[in-house]
């Protein structure tokens, strides 16, 4: 076989060549292109497939190809015939029916005057298995990262309180920093909201980093991209910038550290802080780290801004509640007292003028002062919600009735059973809805008398507010949403505690509101 | 109390609180020169009743459900310029006071007024003389002395932007100076305009210079 043309090898005998071929780590096959039979093979090729050389030589080449790879094999053979190149990776079937991965490198040769292919074949099964394991591993890692990121985003999205420490803890599960700090920008200073990784640093309390000038700020913002510093002690401008920035008190953040990563926290191109991470190894942080950290940081930034808004909303809610109480004070108590004051002032003169009228006015005075007192008590009850939940519902309804009479001079009869036990939120709902119902009656009904009933029928608790006023078409009032905002509120409030609200009315026939509540059956019983 | 019985001042009461109307009605009984001409519990019914009875003086509560007292005063005043209005309320916000007086009220009384003060105010109103509660006068004087604290609610950043607006820079130039995007500046500018309650940059700059908003 004169296949090697290197002159120095010319002297080798066929037997020498045979020994060399057999000891090659790669398999070696000569296949007849016309018949497809294996004409020659080295020891490695035979052993690779679990055959002896006597068995292997003479096999049809297709009997070595795993059926799944057959199409590819024929395709590549056709290609070989025109382009003289054959280098597929095929799955081979061994003598014991096991499957191996084999890479081919085939070239055309003439062998015993026949058109043949000389092929070097290499068993790459182990490599492919390793690759698969590696790929799987990478996949798992990225799953882990993704699930961690998802977890962080859940934490950020669900927590009402922004917890910067928790964010750093969660980042640590993906990025192994030595220490890290989450900073917020307050009056041209970066101030730590949380510090992790080094107990000494954590104990330091707030670390402040002065940010001098808008230029420094824009370097820190860095076009909303992370900054990675491979070696913070190096001579490059970024490292110098960091060392200058972290002077004095903040310099201890650099002690013992080598590499650094800074992630700007920004919302709408406005920097609001950042996450700084340090590692004691050089060039620790990668672009991949930066990507992960940035996606966490972006969510954290939004949460931080939301927190600000939430705080503002809370303040606004407190303000609105205060406004509401002030309005109630004005609407009810102040009006009653003004009227009582006037009457009291003119009463002596009225007495001299007309004693019968004066007596009527004394009754008014009594109503007014009692009403104002009841009004005050119910306002105080609202200021201290425990009064609403701790008092007997009957007493609360009597309070509402008195306050109503005091304000409107319309008598209210409260017929209520005592000692009805309701969950506190249900009791508050009953109180509020009754209050709202009375308010509506006062505003629209022109009633002469109002009845409030509270009764218990088995497990069902029922509250009924009935007036003898002008009534209305309930359907119309629902359609006219704006004018009956109160009805919507009552419905929503009833729904929220699982109570049922029914309002019935006819023009000219008064109106009736029934609120009923039955303890839920599936809850505590089992 | 010179002109007894024959020329009594016919007073109408407008208040949505029944008990307040009752108190006022009782109050009117003891003054021989005053009489209750009618009662209304809303702005709409007040307008209607005025057409019917044309009272001399109306005691008008300002915060009423649906149509408010100021609107009612304005409406009735146009139709019946002879009817005198006394706003009777527990609110003393400068704007509400001004609006009521603009609408045609001749007096503004807080619901802390005594019976004698109130009766005197009714007589004055009937004679075309104004009466303001002491507290109301104070509010008006205070508002006149401190025309507006406009600009006090601007943030530090908005002040910076306003200062650059005064220098004549446009949004892009301001953005360049403050190293932020022009859209950020745009939103600052619109906040500034709304806080200063002006419609244009020029107005904002004029107001800022006139009131020394930027020191």
pLDDT bucket at B147, cuts 50 / 70 / 90: low
DSSP string computed for B68-129: -HHHHHHHHHHH-TT-EEEEEES---HHHHHHHHHHT-SEEEETT--HHHHHHHHHHHHTT-
Instruction: Note the pLDDT tens digit of each residue in A298-311.
Output: 888 887 877 777 77
Per-residue pLDDT at A479 exceeds 50: no
Asked if pLDDT for residue A380 goes beyond 80, the answer is no
| Per-residue pLDDT at A481 exceeds 60 | no
Q: Spell out which chain A residues touch chain B, with contact meaning CB-CB distance below 8 angstroms.
A: 214-215, 217-218, 268-270, 330-331, 334-336, 338-343, 345-346, 349-350, 353-354, 357, 361, 364, 367-368, 371, 406-410, 443
* Residue B120: per-residue pLDDT: 96
Q: ipTM, 2 decimals?
A: 0.70
Q: How confident is the model over A70-105, as pLDDT tens digits?
A: 999 999 999 998 888 898 999 999 999 999 999 999
Portion of chain A with pLDDT greater than 90, in percent: 34
What average pLDDT does range A47-64 have in this prediction? 92
Cα–Cα distance, A95 to A80 (Å, whole number): 27
For B32, phi and psi rounded to 5 degrees? -65, -20
Contact yes or no for B34/B122 (Cβ under 8 A): yes
| Residues in contact with A443: Cβ distance below 8 Å, sequence separation at least 6, in sequence order | B16, B65
pLDDT tops 90 at residue A65:
yes
Smallest CA–CA separation between B180 and chain A, in Å?
A: 7
pLDDT score of A378 more than 90:
no
Structural domains of chain B ordered from first start: 5-145 (3.40.50.2300), 156-210 (1.10.10.10)
Are the Cβ atoms of B17 and A410 closer than 8 angstroms?
no
| Contact in structure between B43 and B17 (CB atoms under 8 Å) | no
Q: For A136-150, A339-353, B163-177, which range has the lowest pLDDT when averaged over its residues?
A: A136-150
The minimum CA-CA distance between A338 and chain B, rounded to whole Å, is 6
Reply yes or no on whether the pLDDT at A472 is more than 80: no
Give the separation between CA A515 and CA A460, rounded to whole angstroms.
10
Q: Which residues of B touch A269 (CB under 8 A)?
A: 180-181, 184
Q: Structural domains in chain A?
A: 7-123 (3.30.450.20), 142-301 (3.30.450.40), 392-526 (3.30.565.10)
- Residue B87: the pLDDT is 96
What's the average model confidence in pLDDT over B78-103?
93
pLDDT of A441 above 80? yes
Mean pLDDT of the residues in chain A = 84
pLDDT of residue A6: 57
| Structure-model confidence comparison of residues A276 and A211, the more confident one | A276
pLDDT tens per residue, range A405-420? 887 888 999 999 888 8
The pLDDT of residue B1 is above 60 = no
| A218 contact residues in B (CB cutoff 8 A) | 179
Question: CA-CA distances (angstroms) from residue B84 to B51, B60, B108, B128?
Answer: 14, 10, 12, 8
Q: For chain B, what is the mean pLDDT?
A: 89
Q: How far is B25 from chain A (nearest CA, A)?
A: 9
For residue B192, the SS3 value is helix
Q: What is the pLDDT of residues A316-330, one digit of tens each?
A: 777 777 777 777 777
| A155 pLDDT more than 80 | no
Quote the percentage of chain B above a pLDDT of 90: 52
Cβ distance B26 to A340 less than 8 Å, yes or no, reads: no
- pLDDT at residue B36 is higher than 80: yes
């Amino acid at each position: 076989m004169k296949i090697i043309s290197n002159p120095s090898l010319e002297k080798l005998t066929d037997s020498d060549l045979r020994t060399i071929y057999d000891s090659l780590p790669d398999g070696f096959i000569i296949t007849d292109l016309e018949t497809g039979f294996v004409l020659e093979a080295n020891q490695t090729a035979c052993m690779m497939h679990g055959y002896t050389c006597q068995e292997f030589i003479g096999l049809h080449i297709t009997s070595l190809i795993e059926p799944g790879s057959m199409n590819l094999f024929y395709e590549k053979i056709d290609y070989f015939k025109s382009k003289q190149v054959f280098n597929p990776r095929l799955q081979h079937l061994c003598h014991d029916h096991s499957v191996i991965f084999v890479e081919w490198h085939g070239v055309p040769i003439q062998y015993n005057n026949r058109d043949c292919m000389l092929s070097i074949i290499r068993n790459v099964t182990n490599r492919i298995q390793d690759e698969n394991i590696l790929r799987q591993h990478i996949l798992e890692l990225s799953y882990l990262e993704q699930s961690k990121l998802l977890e962080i985003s859940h934490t950020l999205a669900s927590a009402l309180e922004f917890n910067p420490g928790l964010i750093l803890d969660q980042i640590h599960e993906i990025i192994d920093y030595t220490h890290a700090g989450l900073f917020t920008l307050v009056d041209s200073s970066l101030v730590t909201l949380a510090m992790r990784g080094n107990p000494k640093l954590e104990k330091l309390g707030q670390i402040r980093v002065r940010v001098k000038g808008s230029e420094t700020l824009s370097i820190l913002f860095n076009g909303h991209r992370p900054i990675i510093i491979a070696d913070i002690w190096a001579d490059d401008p970024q490292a110098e910038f960091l060392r200058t920035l972290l002077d004095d008190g903040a310099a201890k953040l650099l002690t013992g550290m080598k590499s650094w990563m800074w992630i700007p926290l920004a919302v709408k191109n406005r920097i609001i802080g950042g996450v700084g991470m340090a590692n004691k190894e050089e060039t620790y942080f990668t672009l991949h780290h930066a990507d992960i950290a940035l996606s966490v940081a972006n969510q954290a930034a939004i949460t931080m801004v939301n927190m600000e808004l939430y705080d503002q909303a809370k303040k606004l809610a407190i303000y609105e509640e205060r406004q509401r109480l002030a309005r109630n004070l004005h609407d009810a108590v102040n009006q009653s007292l003004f009227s009582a004051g006037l009457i009291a002032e003119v009463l002596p003169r009225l007495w001299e003028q007309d004693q019968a009228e004066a007596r009527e006015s004394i009754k008014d005075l009594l109503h007014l002062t009692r009403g104002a007192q009841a009004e005050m008590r119910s306002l105080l009850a609202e200021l201290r919600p425990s009064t609403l939940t701790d008092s007997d519902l009957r007493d609360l309804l009597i309070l509402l009735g008195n306050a109503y009479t005091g304000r409107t001079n319309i008598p209210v009869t409260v017929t209520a059973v005592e000692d009805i036990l309701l969950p506190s939120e249900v009791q508050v709902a009953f109180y509020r809805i009754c209050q709202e119902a009375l308010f509506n009656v006062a505003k629209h009904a022109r009633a002469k008398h109002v009845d409030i009933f509270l009764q218990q029928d088995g497990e069902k608790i029922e509250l009924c507010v009935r007036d003898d006023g002008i009534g209305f078409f309930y359907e119309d009032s629902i359609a006219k949403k704006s004018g009956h905002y109160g009805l919507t509120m009552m419905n929503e409030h009833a729904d929220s505690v699982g109570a049922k609200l029914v309002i019935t009315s006819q023009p000219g026939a008064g109106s009736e509101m029934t609120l009923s509540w039955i303890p839920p059956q599936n809850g505590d019983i089992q | 109390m010179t002109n007894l019985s024959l020329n009594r001042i016919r007073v109408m009461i407008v208040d949505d609180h029944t008990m307040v109307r009752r108190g006022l009605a009782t109050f009117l009984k003891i003054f021989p020169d005053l009489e209750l001409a009618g009662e209304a519990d809303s702005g709409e019914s007040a307008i209607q009743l005025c057409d019917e009875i044309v009272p001399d003086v109306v005691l008008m509560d300002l915060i009423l459900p649906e149509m408010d007292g100021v609107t009612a005063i304005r409406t009735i005043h146009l139709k019946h310029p002879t009817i005198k209005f006394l706003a009777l309320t527990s609110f003393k916000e400068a704007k509400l006071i001004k609006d009521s007086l603009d609408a045609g009220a001749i007096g503004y009384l807080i619901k802390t007024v005594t019976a004698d003060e109130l009766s005197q105010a009714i007589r004055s109103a009937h004679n075309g003389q104004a009466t303001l509660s002491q507290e109301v006068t104070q509010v008006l004087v205070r508002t006149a002395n401190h025309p507006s604290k406009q600009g006090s609610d601007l943030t530090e950043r908005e002040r910076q932007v306003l200062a650059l607006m005064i220098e004549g820079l446009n949004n892009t130039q301001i953005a360049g100076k403050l190293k932020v995007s022009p859209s950020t500046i745009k939103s600052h500018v619109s906040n500034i305009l709304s806080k200063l309650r002006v419609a244009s940059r020029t107005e904002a700059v004029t107001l800022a210079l006139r009131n020394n908003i930027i020191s």
